[in-house]
Structure 1
Amino acid sequence: MEILRIENLSFRYAGAEKAVLNNISFSINSGDFIVICGESGCGKTTLLKLLKRELAPYGEKEGKILYQGVEQSELDERTAACEIGYVLQNPENQVVTDKVWHELAFGLESLGYSTEIIRRRVSEMASYFGIQAWFRKNTSELSGGQKQMLNLASIMVMQPKILILDEPTSQLDPIAAADFIGTLQKLNKELGLTIILVEHRLEEVFPIADKIMMMEEGKILLYEPPEQVSIKLHKISPNHRMLEGLPSAVRIFYELGMEGACPLTVREGRNFLEQNFDAKINTLEIPKYIHNEIAVLEMKNVWFRYERNLPDILRGVTFSVYSGECFCILGGNGTGKTTTLSLLAGLNKAYRGKTLVQGKKISEFKGNSLYKHNVALLPQNPQTVFLKKTVREDFKEICKVMEYKKEEQEEKIKNITEKLGISHLLDSHPYDLSGGEQQKAALAKMLLLKPKILLLDEPTKGIDAYSKRNLSHILKQLKKDGITIIIVTHDIEFAAINADRCALFFDGEITSIDTPTAFFSDNNFYTTAANRIARNIYKNAISCEDVVKLCRINQ
């Protein structure tokens, strides 16, 4: 039975020349699990917000949105608020109270439900989501994964019929993300809940979806079952940008020139390899990584806490990063990764231990000397980087700070925006951009600082696979120019391809540092999907390219 119908929907933001959505039509049946994907800026988030009346952006809208046959504008307030739930990308942005139990009850209290109903629903939902252990905690004490699970539970208390989620796992570590996706699948199967999910990381959601909606430039390119998407996408173009974002099993299948029904999951991918390829040669020759002897960043037995009476966040952290190296830090939410970057950038100060930049104590840098042609930090929330009304004005402002001449300013802005593919965004307000576009614009602003050391906190958050590939090329060029890069990321595939060394954070300290091949080949959960597919067959394949190479050697 149809629960949602969109008819000829178009939308243009106020003051914008170009429409974000162009004459979109589709329908969703009750109990469907729909995954929406596409390049950054293709209109995914705008579409989701239009489906939730209270979050609809300001602008010119044409067409119809029908919920159970009723035009969206004619729905009564209680139906619109309760029956269509929405989970935001950033867990921090949806938490509104200071206690977990109050967060669960807040929506029901706002709608005037009786105490009896509130207590019953809250206790049932807390039990279902395993929240009992932290039911009475302050929301500020929760990890990112717990906050996102709390957001989901606080929506489910309202008993929605449709659940809309905008990249809910983008700020979660791989284990928390898998738990969250598993919970969504459980809600869909056990409660018959209709789910509409926007996601760039398709590895886990692709196989469980009923349909995949692939968007391109404000239109629907494909709206098909998962097993049909890759086949039809290849027919549209064998080099289509979105092919890079498909699950590893699908990419390996097509890169090997296979035809017909392709594997979607890790298990199916492994079966496909075992049935079609030998393993006489099961190991790739990996050249030994030899780093530069000059350490440009060092932490020696660093301890840090945010307040005197709070527990330590960092506990004796010790590591060195060498000139021209790309060093990736991985680990669970709340283990101390972002805090480490803040200390390296001089935003916080350790109460014990030493932090050295270019061999000099960080406390010895005076004024702006730490940042001018030296250290630049791209924070997790790119919006905090922007100060002006347009991206161009922001870039010009940073050029003035760097004392570039007028003719230099235009040239540098032109070069960096062309590299990142964001020239068309220069006259937009930074807050009007999609999450992925904001990420790229913020990175461009950091690069205008011409840093010797670049600190990146979740740089791939919200960007599509093709944009990640472009970012990889830029990072490689920066390394050639002698720039040292430290990345905090949950994106394991990105780390495997770009890192010279990877470090695992756990309980406030680094427990392991190694090359990507050694690091990911030995992990069960902090590893790539390609490695999970091939690990019983080939020993040190950590990327799709590695697996394909070994398969071809063994043909």
Structure 2
Amino acid sequence: MEIYDIKDLSFAFPLNETNVLSSIHLKVHSGEFITICGKSGCGKSTLLRQLKTVLTPHGKHSGDIFYQGKLIHEVDQRTQAAEIGFVLQNPDNQIVTDKVWHELAFGLESLGYDQSTIRLRVAEMASFFGIQTWFHKSVTELSGGQKQLLNLASIMAMHPAVLILDEPTSQLDPIAAADFLETVSKINRELGTTIIMTEHRLEEVLPITDRLIVLDQGKVIADDSPPRVGEVLRSLHHPMFTAMPSPMQIYAGVPSPLECPVTVKQGRQWLSAYLVDKTPAQKLEIGARRSGVSSPVAISFKEVWFRHERNGPDTIKDLSFEVREGQFYCIVGGNGTGKTTTLSLINGNFQPSRGKVRIHGDNPAKMKAKELFVNGLGVLPQNPATLFVKKTVELDLYEMLSEASLTKEEKNRKVEAVIQFAELEPLLGMHPYDLSGGEQQRAALAKVLLMEPKILLLDEPTKGLDGFFKEKLGLFLRKLHNEGVTIVMVSHDIEFCAKYGEECAMFFDGSIITSNAAHAFFSGNSFYTTAANRMARHIWSNAVTIEGVIDLCQKSLQLPND
């Protein structure tokens, strides 16, 4: 049975002649698990929002959407609220009450269910999702992963027929993201709920996906099983192939008659079969990339403690570390461990309760914004929307240079260069708040780069970005790094840190528990490591990037058999 039947759907935002969606034809069958991917701004979120009328943006529509055989706009709001569940990208945007138990009950109360039914369903969902231990907590005490799980549980309490998720793992650490996706898969398997989700991080989601749909400029260019879609993208030399899971990319880089792997398990089996009649190349010889070891200290923490409230728990606990000039320093770790707070201490937003934070020997908390600017400090915050102050993207970019002592021509040249880099040409006339998550991230990054910072603080810079632009960003950050810019990056994107980072540190319980050169750091972990390393570690323990594994496979071809 068809849950959705989309016929010739097109959509354009007001005052915009270009369609965001163009002639979309899709059928979604009951019980399917569908993942939609594509470059930032390709129309993924816009398409999802067409599937529930209360979330549909204002604009010009054509074509029809049928839900359970009925035109979607003829389905009453109560039915849509109960049967069409929608999980947003940012968990904080969806939570409406103050307590966990009340959030679980809120949707059912709104639909008018009796108390006994509400109590039963809330208890059932709390048990199913493992929420019992934090059932009575305030929602403000929850981590990002717990908030997203709470959103999912409160929707599932209403027993929806279809669950729509818009990049639900974009703000979660790797372990929380994997746990969340496993729960979504369990809902699909055990309850038969139809799943439609958009996602940029495909490593974990494709193994549980029945159909992968790729959008490009508002059009469907591929719709099939993940391995077949991978083959299509590779044959088209499409940039979205860089977003495919590591086993698929490694397979594509090595001539092999064997079947294309999707999961790490399949990748390990494929690699063993590929090397069965070959002599494996020697392990990678990786030099410790620590360009700033002999440089002056740019940022230092000495026995730093910090708490958000006077009588609250310590968020940062006895933290000591140094970042030297010209280093590319990555910080990874779970949600709520203190990573973002550490960046806020560096940029002077917070002052430690004990200990010392210094930038080139000065206390950032006692420096004015202009002094920090003069010292060359640039900050990309976790929420990029906080940087936007004007009505259009173009005005926002020029605002960044409003106090710079440059001629009009010089300002134009700088803005034009950053527009081209961040691919903002079609977005210049739009309000920053009307952009997709990935587009906002690119626009905010462009604003920060206009400052030409000497120290660049990045909080989740790859969040919401497609694989193609992530690679472009990584190469640009590598260029800045080579030019001597000091970069401190907080990220959940393990693959990005491993490929482009120089030094990597692990945050846990308010402090750094270990740090090492990026390659050595990711060679020794079980979960905080790359899919390429998990796939190849039984043969090459220190291969952590896709390129590294491909290189070793190709070298193995050239070696004589024993």
TM over 0.5: yes
Residues 282 and 539 in structure 1, CA contact (< 8 A), matched pair in contact too? no
Provide, for residues 79-114 of structure 1, a one-character-per-residue CA deviation record: whole Å limited to 9, x for no partner.
Answer: 111100000001111111110000001111112111
Q: In the alignment, what sits opposite 2:191?
A: 191
2:182 aligned with 1:182, yes or no? yes
Partners of 1:252 and 1:63 lie apart in 2 by: 40
Any residues of structure 2 matched to 1:264-279 within 5 Å, and which?
A: 264-277=262-275, 278=278
Residues 290 and 503 in structure 2, CA contact (< 8 A), matched pair in contact too? no
Q: In the alignment, what sits opposite 2:16?
A: 16
Query: In the alignment, residue 81 of structure 1 is paired with which amino acid?
Result: A
Residues 42 and 216 in structure 1, CA contact (< 8 A), matched pair in contact too? yes
Query: In the alignment, residue 513 of structure 2 is paired with which amino acid?
Result: T
Change (3 A) 1:352 1:279: farther
Partners of 1:113 and 1:176 lie apart in 2 by: 32
Query: In the alignment, residue 121 of structure 2 is paired with which amino acid?
Result: R
Query: Once the 2 structures are TM-superposed, how far is the Cα of residue 75 of structure 1 from its aligned partner?
Result: 0.5
Q: In the alignment, what sits opposite 1:248?
A: 246
Provide, for residues 361-420 of structure 1, a one-character-per-residue CA deviation record: whole Å limited to 9, x for no partner.
Answer: 224424520123511111111111101110111111111133332111111000111122
Q: In the alignment, what sits opposite 1:216?
A: 216
SS where residue 98 of structure 1 aligns? coil
Partners of 1:20 and 1:280 lie apart in 2 by: 48
Partners of 2:373 and 2:350 lie apart in 1 by: 15
Residues 372 and 451 in structure 1, CA contact (< 8 A), matched pair in contact too? no
Partners of 1:455 and 1:17 lie apart in 2 by: 37
2:380 aligned with 1:378, yes or no? yes
Please, which moves more after superposition, 398-407 or 540-549?
A: 398-407
Partners of 2:431 and 2:369 lie apart in 1 by: 30
Residues 291 and 322 in structure 1, CA contact (< 8 A), matched pair in contact too? no
Q: In the alignment, what sits opposite 2:560?
A: none
Query: In the alignment, residue 468 of structure 1 is paired with which amino acid?
Result: K
Any residues of structure 2 matched to 1:112-191 within 5 Å, and which?
A: 112-191=112-191
Q: In the alignment, what sits opposite 1:477?
A: 479
2:503 aligned with 1:501, yes or no? yes
Partners of 1:366 and 1:174 lie apart in 2 by: 36
Residues 502 and 517 in structure 2, CA contact (< 8 A), matched pair in contact too? yes
Any residues of structure 2 matched to 1:294-305 within 5 Å, and which?
A: 294-305=296-307
Partners of 1:467 and 1:333 lie apart in 2 by: 25
Provide, for residues 271-303 of structure 1, a one-character-per-residue CA deviation record: whole Å limited to 9, x for no partner.
Answer: 111111245433111123343221101111110
Partners of 2:56 and 2:532 lie apart in 1 by: 39
Change (3 A) 1:190 1:473: same
Partners of 2:48 and 2:182 lie apart in 1 by: 22
Any residues of structure 2 matched to 1:522-533 within 5 Å, and which?
A: 522-533=524-535
Change (3 A) 1:120 1:367: closer
SS where residue 400 of structure 1 aligns? coil
Query: Once the 2 structures are TM-superposed, how far is the Cα of residue 232 of structure 1 from its aligned partner?
Result: 2.1
Partners of 1:83 and 1:364 lie apart in 2 by: 53
Any residues of structure 2 matched to 1:480-491 within 5 Å, and which?
A: 480-491=482-493
Instruction: Give 5+ residue unaligned stretches, structure 2.
Output: 558-562
Residues 372 and 449 in structure 1, CA contact (< 8 A), matched pair in contact too? no
Residues 348 and 366 in structure 2, CA contact (< 8 A), matched pair in contact too? no
Any residues of structure 2 matched to 1:34-113 within 5 Å, and which?
A: 34-113=34-113
Among 353, 367, 370, the alignment partner of 1:365 is: 367
Partners of 2:105 and 2:290 lie apart in 1 by: 56
Q: In the alignment, what sits opposite 1:317?
A: 319
Q: In the alignment, what sits opposite 1:228?
A: 228
Query: In the alignment, residue 453 of structure 2 is paired with which amino acid?
Result: P
Deviating beyond 6 angstroms after TM superposition, the runs of 4 or more aligned structure 1 residues are: none
Residues 378 and 443 in structure 1, CA contact (< 8 A), matched pair in contact too? yes
Partners of 1:141 and 1:410 lie apart in 2 by: 46
Please, which moves more after superposition, 357-366 or 187-196?
A: 357-366
Residues 100 and 137 in structure 1, CA contact (< 8 A), matched pair in contact too? yes
Partners of 2:351 and 2:280 lie apart in 1 by: 54
Residues 305 and 314 in structure 2, CA contact (< 8 A), matched pair in contact too? yes
Residues 282 and 537 in structure 1, CA contact (< 8 A), matched pair in contact too? no
Query: Once the 2 structures are TM-superposed, how far is the Cα of residue 308 of structure 1 from its aligned partner?
Result: 0.5
Change (3 A) 1:166 1:284: same
Partners of 2:232 and 2:301 lie apart in 1 by: 51
Q: In the alignment, what sits opposite 2:541?
A: 539
SS where residue 169 of structure 1 aligns? coil
SS where residue 154 of structure 1 aligns? helix
Query: In the alignment, residue 198 of structure 2 is paired with which amino acid?
Result: V
Partners of 1:260 and 1:25 lie apart in 2 by: 33
Partners of 2:36 and 2:207 lie apart in 1 by: 13
SS where residue 514 of structure 1 aligns? strand
Please, which moves more after superposition, 420-429 or 211-220?
A: 420-429
SS where residue 207 of structure 2 aligns? coil
User: How many residues align structurally?
Assistant: 553
Among 334, 342, 348, the alignment partner of 1:332 is: 334
Query: In the alignment, residue 539 of structure 2 is paired with which amino acid?
Result: I
Query: In the alignment, residue 387 of structure 1 is paired with which amino acid?
Result: V
SS where residue 65 of structure 2 aligns? strand
Query: Once the 2 structures are TM-superposed, how far is the Cα of residue 511 of structure 1 from its aligned partner?
Result: 0.3
Residues 247 and 264 in structure 2, CA contact (< 8 A), matched pair in contact too? yes
SS where residue 373 of structure 2 aligns? coil
Residues 302 and 314 in structure 1, CA contact (< 8 A), matched pair in contact too? yes
Residues 91 and 151 in structure 1, CA contact (< 8 A), matched pair in contact too? yes
Among 246, 256, 260, the alignment partner of 1:258 is: 256
Partners of 1:280 and 1:182 lie apart in 2 by: 34
Query: Once the 2 structures are TM-superposed, how far is the Cα of residue 17 of structure 1 from its aligned partner?
Result: 2.1
RMSD: 1.2
SS where residue 164 of structure 1 aligns? strand
Change (3 A) 1:367 1:460: closer
Query: In the alignment, residue 200 of structure 2 is paired with which amino acid?
Result: H
Among 448, 455, 458, the alignment partner of 1:456 is: 458
Change (3 A) 1:280 1:264: closer
Change (3 A) 1:87 1:363: closer
Change (3 A) 1:363 1:45: closer
Please, which moves more after superposition, 184-193 or 282-291?
A: 282-291
Query: Once the 2 structures are TM-superposed, how far is the Cα of residue 498 of structure 1 from its aligned partner?
Result: 1.0
Among 434, 440, 444, the alignment partner of 2:446 is: 444
Query: Once the 2 structures are TM-superposed, how far is the Cα of residue 70 of structure 1 from its aligned partner?
Result: 0.4
Residues 163 and 194 in structure 1, CA contact (< 8 A), matched pair in contact too? yes
Partners of 1:280 and 1:234 lie apart in 2 by: 26
Identity %: 52
Q: In the alignment, what sits opposite 2:494?
A: 492
SS where residue 207 of structure 1 aligns? helix
SS where residue 505 of structure 2 aligns? strand
